[in-house]
């Protein structure tokens, strides 16, 4: 057996996410490539949380519906997932909270009382039981706990894990693979590291799911990463603080979701008119309004493409996995500064909070890019007209430079004007900048393809649905085409990628087909829509069934 799926479920506050990451680390320690989907309601306590951890011999980035092991902290974790249980599923449950006719019961209340351990340590009992069930040695289990549990809590966790290990029987054996163990990281973490690689100096954010953990991650590591992390009072303060930092010459990025981005849109327009670079990590979740704040969606594409009043160039990228998140987060920040435009990294809850095996050596880095700086000669003009539309940068305090930025229409020096000729020149300057950015992007992998060109069937997707589509495509012998840059849209590259597409399905996590709408605007046929809009991503087997209706 080369693949395993484990579901662990319980109440909010019982550490299900942490336990899921520990399970992923257990399989990773044996050389498996892992993916974890975490599902939770917008509650601090109670409700039903669960994580599905999938381990495979090959790279993966999506979950499947059936599970091989169900770890249940309560009865809801059994009842809510009966459709996932099959003849080969092993159920391990807390018999002090759940009643189950078959499977293995752990009376966690008794174990924890005898070991004088708090309730949260019950996760280690479940981890121990899983290890024994899967034929994973106690030494591997203890190594994982030593790597993931703080030292002051380690001994209690080791004792409780041992109790769980001894309480069950071996059912199957997970054979170690002859491949290196990889770290398991979330999309938020990798996006943060990508920004740092791109030259990030300050990160500014107000916590908002699903990018909150990006703020927390960078704040915890700010000293090691040599960055500043700032938490203003609201999202309006966030974008304005970032623009102030950039005006002063500091590379800044912000993080938010749809509701926060709504408040940032006037600041986005200010960045467009004043040509101040800023990078925005925009994690999508279902709306409108608060919507489903802890679930996933791909519903904000046209919002970010059109946000802000007036016309100005912007860069919008949509990575689909950790490799792309790392490379394109760095590139978005660098190109934002090179072309003095706002850049937006469009993620979603599935990618931002999902956990994946990450191999830094497998990432194909994009070239480093530096901003165009003033050479100190002549009179400094912040908005000097150039052939490519990009003006040399200088920052306050530079000798000989008066750095005046303006939210009004302005001349080359930054002085407000309403003159017809100056207005026209400024608009044409922005258009040239957009053309220059488009020309450079044509040298990047802005569209990715998977599968044979002559497949005769093509799946179009974007963002986090990438890996479900890649796996489902194998069933139909189909090709997958994925745009990574959505603005400025790479029309020529897309046209080349779709040659011989045949029958086309467009897979999206929204109700209206937002990528399909963008493709039609660009003059392309998006094919038949395959849409999911319940706040959850496609499971691979679920997508296979839906695609069967298109490719039949």
CATH number for 459: 3.40.50.920
The answer to whether residues 452 and 439 belong to one domain is no
Q: Are 300 and 508 within 8 A, CB to CB?
A: no
Asked if residue 137 and residue 67 are part of one domain, the reply reads yes
In a domain, 175, yes or no: no
pLDDT confidence of residue 103 = 85
Same domain, 301 and 234: yes
Can you give the CATH number for the domain in which 36 is found?
A: 3.40.920.10
Report the domain count for the chain. 3
Q: Are residues 73 and 149 in the same domain?
A: yes
Q: Which residues of 371-394 are buried (b: 16+ CB within 10 A; e: fewer)?
A: beebeeeeebbbbeeeeebbbbbb
Same structural domain for residues 390 and 436?
yes
Burial class (CB in 10 A: 0-12, 13-18, 19+), 541: middle
116 shares its domain with 218: no
Domain assignment present for residue 257? The answer is yes
**What pLDDT score was predicted for residue 296?**
98
In a domain, 358, yes or no: yes
Query: How many other C-beta atoms lie within 10 A of the C-beta of residue 360?
Result: 14
pLDDT digits (tens, 9 = 90+) for 88-104: 999 999 999 988 767 89
Q: Mean pLDDT, consecutive 10-residue segments, the chain of 552 residues? A: 92 91 96 97 88 97 98 94 95 90 88 93 96 96 93 94 96 95 97 98 98 98 98 97 98 98 98 98 97 97 97 98 98 98 98 97 93 95 97 96 96 97 96 97 98 95 98 97 98 97 98 98 98 98 97 90
**Looking at residue 1, what is its pLDDT?**
57
Q: With respect to residue 56, please indicate whether it lies within any of the assigned structural domains.
A: yes
> Does residue 176 belong to any structural domain of this protein?
no
Out of 137, 166, 195, a domain closes at 166
* Interstrand relation of 485-487 and 315-317 (parallel, antiparallel or unpaired): antiparallel
Name the residue range of residue 511's domain. Answer: 447-551
- CA distances to 97, 320, 345, 347, 360 from 324, rounded to whole Å, are 42, 6, 11, 11, 11
The residue out of 398, 416, 443 marking a domain boundary is 443
Q: How far apart are CA 401 and CA 145, in angstroms?
A: 57
- Report pLDDT for 201: 98
Contact 273, 407 (CB under 8 A): yes
Same-domain check for residues 119 and 96: yes
CA-wise closest residue to 354 among 434, 216, 269, 465: 465
Task: With respect to residue 438, please indicate whether it lies within any of the assigned structural domains.
Answer: yes
Q: Single out the residue in 374, 409, 443 at which a domain terminates.
A: 443
Those residues with Cβ within 8 angstroms of residue 338's Cβ, 6 or more apart along the chain or in another chain = 369, 370, 371, 372, 390
Domain assignment present for residue 174? The answer is: no
Q: Is residue 398 part of a domain?
A: yes
Same domain, 206 and 156: no
Residues 14 and 146 in one domain: yes
Question: Phi, psi at residue 430, to the nearest 5°?
Answer: -65, -40
Encode pLDDT of 333-392 as tens digits.
999 999 999 999 999 999 999 999 999 999 998 999 999 999 999 999 999 999 999 999
Whether residue 413 is found in the same domain as residue 520? no
Task: Based on the fold, state whether residues 134 and 222 are members of the same structural domain.
Answer: no
Query: In the prediction, which pLDDT does 98 show?
Result: 85
Q: Where residue 302 sits, what CATH number does that domain have?
A: 3.40.50.970
Same domain? 436 vs 535: no
- H or E stretch covering 303: helix 301-306
């Amino acid at each position: 057996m080369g693949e395993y799926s484990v579901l662990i479920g319980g109440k909010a506050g019982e550490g299900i996410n942490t336990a899921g990451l520990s399970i992923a680390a257990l399989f990773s320690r044996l050389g498996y490539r892992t993916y974890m989907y975490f599902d939770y309601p917008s509650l601090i306590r109670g409700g039903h949380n669960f994580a599905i951890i999938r381990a495979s011999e090959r790279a993966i980035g999506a979950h499947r519906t059936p599970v091989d092991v169900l770890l249940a902290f309560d009865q809801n974790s059994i009842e809510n997932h009966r459709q996932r249980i099959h003849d080969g599923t092993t159920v391990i449950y807390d018999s002090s909270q759940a009643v189950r006719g078959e499977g293995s019961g752990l009376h966690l209340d008794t174990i924890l009382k005898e070991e004088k351990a708090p309730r949260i340590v019950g996760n280690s009992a479940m981890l121990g039981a899983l290890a024994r069930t899967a034929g994973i040695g106690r030494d591997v289990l203890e190594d994982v706990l030593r790597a993931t549990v703080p030292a002051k809590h380690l001994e209690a966790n080791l004792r409780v894990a041992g109790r769980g290990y001894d309480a069950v029987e071996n059912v199957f054996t997970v054979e170690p693979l002859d491949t290196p163990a990889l770290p398991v990281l979330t999309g938020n973490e990798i996006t943060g590291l990508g920004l740092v690689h791109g030259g990030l100096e300050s990160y500014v954010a107000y916590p908002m799911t699903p990018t909150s953990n990006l703020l927390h991650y960078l704040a915890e590591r700010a000293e090691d990463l040599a960055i500043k992390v700032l938490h203003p009072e609201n999202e309006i303060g966030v974008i304005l603080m970032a623009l102030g930092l950039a005006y002063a010459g500091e590379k800044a990025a912000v993080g938010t979701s749809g509701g926060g981005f709504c408040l940032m849109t006037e600041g986005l327009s200010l960045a467009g008119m004043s040509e101040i670079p800023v990078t925005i990590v925009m994690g999508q979740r279902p709306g409108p309004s608060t919507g489903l704040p802890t679930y996933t969606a791909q519903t904000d594409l046209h919002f970010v493409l059109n946000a802000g009043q007036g016309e100005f160039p912007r860069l919008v990228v949509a990575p689909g996995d950790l490799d792309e998140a790392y490379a394109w987060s760095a590139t978005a920040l660098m190109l934002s500064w090179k072309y003095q435009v706002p850049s937006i990294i469009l993620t979603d809850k599935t990618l931002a909070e999902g956990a994946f095996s990450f191999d830094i050596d497998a990432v194909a880095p994009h070239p480093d890019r530096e901003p165009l700086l003033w050479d100190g000669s002549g009179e400094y003009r912040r908005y000097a007209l150039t052939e490519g539309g990009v003006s040399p940068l200088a920052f306050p305090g530079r000798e000989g430079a008066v750095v005046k930025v303006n939210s009004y229409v302005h001349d080359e020096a930054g002085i407000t004007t309403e003159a017809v000729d100056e207005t026209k020149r400024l608009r044409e300057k922005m258009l040239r900048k957009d053309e220059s950015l488009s020309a450079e992007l044509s040298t990047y992998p802005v569209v990715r393809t998977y599968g044979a060109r002559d497949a005769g069937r093509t799946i179009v997707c974007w963002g986090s649905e990438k890996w479900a589509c890649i796996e489902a495509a194998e069933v139909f012998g189909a090709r997958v085409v994925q745009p990574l840059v959505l603005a400025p849209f790479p029309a020529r590259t897309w046209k080349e990628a779709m040659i011989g597409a045949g029958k086309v399905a467009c897979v999206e996590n929204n109700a209206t087909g937002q990528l399909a709408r963008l493709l039609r605007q660009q003059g392309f046929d998006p094919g038949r829509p395959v849409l999911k809009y319940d706040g959850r991503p496609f499971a691979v087997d679920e997508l296979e069934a839906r695609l069967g209706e298109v490719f039949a």
